[in-house]
Amino acid sequence: MENNILVTGAAGFIGANFVEYFVNKYPQYNIVVLDKLTYAGNINNLNKVKDRITFVKDDICDFEKVLNIFNKYKINGVIHFAAESHVDNSIKNPFIFTQTNVIGTHVLLEAAKQVWGEGSNNKFVHVSTDEVYGSLKKDGYFTEKSPIKPSSPYSASKASSDLIALAYKETYKMNINVTNCSNNYGPYQHNEKLIPHMIKLALEDKKLPVYGTGENVRDWLYVEDHCQAIDLVYHNGKSGERYNIGGHNEKRNIDIIKLILKRLNKPESLIEFVEDRKGHDYRYAIDPTKIKEELGWYPKTKFEDGILKTIDWYLDNRKWLNWFDI
């Protein structure tokens, strides 16, 4: 049987990296990319593989169009990245996050159920975030058994979509996994996100705004490591299971910004502390024991190596820093 896999949101950061990785590893697969090309989607992110995929510009919230895609391309697997993901934007305009992240996910699940039938073994991977767990203090880690406690409209919308996906597994006996990853970084990321945003501002000798005191801690995951984890979950993940993807690369925001400035030979005087974000979680950190023990995955890239590769990639591909004006 042919593998006809629908990858949503693949003109975005993680999705584009994943499709490039997946097409190269599995050239025999038929990959259909579904992307609305919102402000965060860039068709040029797929330039390296554009002749090896089928691209469909459409909206995951449009049930009839999604259903048509499933039938037209005989889709028998889904890897779902498409989402609104910028926390700041969710505070300003939360409704679009509910629309895309909750309704869009529900549309995809329902289309899969109607086309595949209840009890189907076809795989549906819903890609989510560690932000659904809320905030940690200085100690401890998120596990798959951590309580769901979102702090922003973004994380609440992702938590809702996680629960809908898992409910379809329980109710309709579908083959579904949910993954919750830590902060990704690497090539093709929109310049609204911390690392490319700070690189862009530093290169322009502009002030680098830092929320609060910059003490907030994130667990950083190089995007290629994330792609490898999604690959394993898609092929080997146990149905109905949630897998946390990350692992022991915790860094304070201020330390990352100082590292970027040092790499670019820019002065720390460019740092400007600004009023903290509403509901700003203090710390995220993932315990990857489950995915390590069950699927044999552990992040290969140390942050100190990955951040240098990332900075150098943007220096070599500056048009990505300037593709979006924010």
The CATH number that applies at residue 58 is 3.40.50.720
Average pLDDT over residues 274-288: 84
Backbone angles phi, psi at 78, to 5 degrees: -135, 135
Question: Residue 260 and residue 255: Cα distance in Å, rounded?
Answer: 9
Q: Establish if 79 belongs to a structural domain.
A: yes
Q: Establish if 50 belongs to a structural domain.
A: yes
pLDDT at 326: 38
- Residue 179 or residue 189, greater confidence: 179
Instruction: List Cβ neighbours of 37 (8 Å cut-off, separation of 6 or more).
Output: 11, 43, 57
| CA torsion through residues 296, 227, 56, 83, sign | positive
Q: Establish if 292 belongs to a structural domain.
A: no
The 10s digit of each residue's pLDDT in 136-161 is 888 889 999 999 999 889 999 999 99
Average pLDDT, the chain: 93
- 221: three-class secondary structure by DSSP: strand
Q: Establish if 294 belongs to a structural domain.
A: no
- How much of the chain exceeds pLDDT 90, in percent? 81
Instruction: List Cβ neighbours of 208 (8 Å cut-off, separation of 6 or more).
Output: 198, 201, 202, 257, 261, 270, 271, 272
pLDDT at 10: 96
Point out the catalytic residue in the list 20, 35, 130, 224. 130
pLDDT of 281 strictly over 90: no
pLDDT band at 323 (very low <50, low <70, confident <90, very high): low
Question: Residue 59 and residue 29: Cα distance in Å, rounded?
Answer: 23
**Looking at the structure, do residues 94 and 210 belong to the same domain, yes or no?**
no
**Looking at the structure, do residues 231 and 97 belong to the same domain, yes or no?**
yes
Question: Residue 184 and residue 167: Cα distance in Å, rounded?
Answer: 27
CATH of the domain at 261: 3.90.25.10
**Looking at the structure, do residues 230 and 271 belong to the same domain, yes or no?**
no
73 has catalytic annotation: no
Q: Establish if 295 belongs to a structural domain.
A: no
For residue 243, count CB atoms less than 10 angstroms from its CB and return exposed for 0-12, middle for 13-18, buried for 19 or more: buried
pLDDT at 248: 81
Point out the catalytic residue in the list 35, 131, 219, 250. 131
**Looking at the structure, do residues 19 and 142 belong to the same domain, yes or no?**
yes
pLDDT band at 7 (very low <50, low <70, confident <90, very high): very high
Question: Residue 137 and residue 36: Cα distance in Å, rounded?
Answer: 37
**Looking at the structure, do residues 43 and 83 belong to the same domain, yes or no?**
yes
Q: Are 177 and 126 in contact (CB under 8 A)?
A: yes
pLDDT at 298: 95
The lowest-confidence range among 20-29, 115-124, 209-218, 236-245 is 209-218
131 has catalytic annotation: yes
Question: Residue 38 and residue 321: Cα distance in Å, rounded?
Answer: 17
Give Rg (Cα) of the chain: 19
3-state helix, strand, coil in the chain (%, to 5): 45, 20, 35
- Residue 110 or residue 319, greater confidence: 110
**Looking at the structure, do residues 111 and 128 belong to the same domain, yes or no?**
yes
Q: Establish if 293 belongs to a structural domain.
A: no
CB crowding 98-112: b at 16 or more within 10 Å, else e:
bebbbbbbbbbbbbb
**Looking at the structure, do residues 270 and 229 belong to the same domain, yes or no?**
no
Question: Residue 179 and residue 201: Cα distance in Å, rounded?
Answer: 32
N-to-C CA span, the chain: 45
pLDDT of 324 strictly over 60: no
Q: For residue 140, give the DSSP letter.
A: -
**Looking at the structure, do residues 231 and 272 belong to the same domain, yes or no?**
no
Beta bridge partners of 173: none
Number of domains within the chain: 2
Point out the catalytic residue in the list 154, 168, 185, 222. 154
pLDDT of 302 strictly over 80: yes
pLDDT at 282: 81
Average pLDDT over residues 12-17: 96
Question: Residue 25 and residue 17: Cα distance in Å, rounded?
Answer: 12
**Looking at the structure, do residues 103 and 200 belong to the same domain, yes or no?**
no
pLDDT of 325 strictly over 70: no
Which structural domain range is residue 205 located in? 188-218+249-286+300-322
**Looking at the structure, do residues 234 and 313 belong to the same domain, yes or no?**
no
Q: Establish if 112 belongs to a structural domain.
A: yes
pLDDT at 227: 98
The lowest-confidence range among 53-67, 87-101, 148-162, 237-251 is 87-101
pLDDT at 190: 86
DSSP H or E segment with residue 35: strand 30-35
Q: Establish if 154 belongs to a structural domain.
A: yes
Average pLDDT over residues 253-265: 96
pLDDT band at 112 (very low <50, low <70, confident <90, very high): very high
pLDDT of 91 strictly over 90: no
**Looking at the structure, do residues 163 and 54 belong to the same domain, yes or no?**
yes
Q: Which two tokens stand for residue 86?
A: 């910028």
pLDDT at 320: 82
Average pLDDT over residues 287-300: 96
Query: Can you give the pTM of this predicted structure?
Result: 0.94
Q: Please state, as a whole number, how many other Cβ atoms lie within 10 Å of the Cβ of residue 113.
A: 18
Q: Are 257 and 214 in contact (CB under 8 A)?
A: yes
**Looking at the structure, do residues 76 and 94 belong to the same domain, yes or no?**
yes
Task: State the amino acid at position 95 in one-letter form.
Answer: F
Q: Which two tokens stand for residue 284?
A: 């995220």
pLDDT band at 60 (very low <50, low <70, confident <90, very high): very high
188 has catalytic annotation: no
pLDDT of 272 strictly over 60: yes
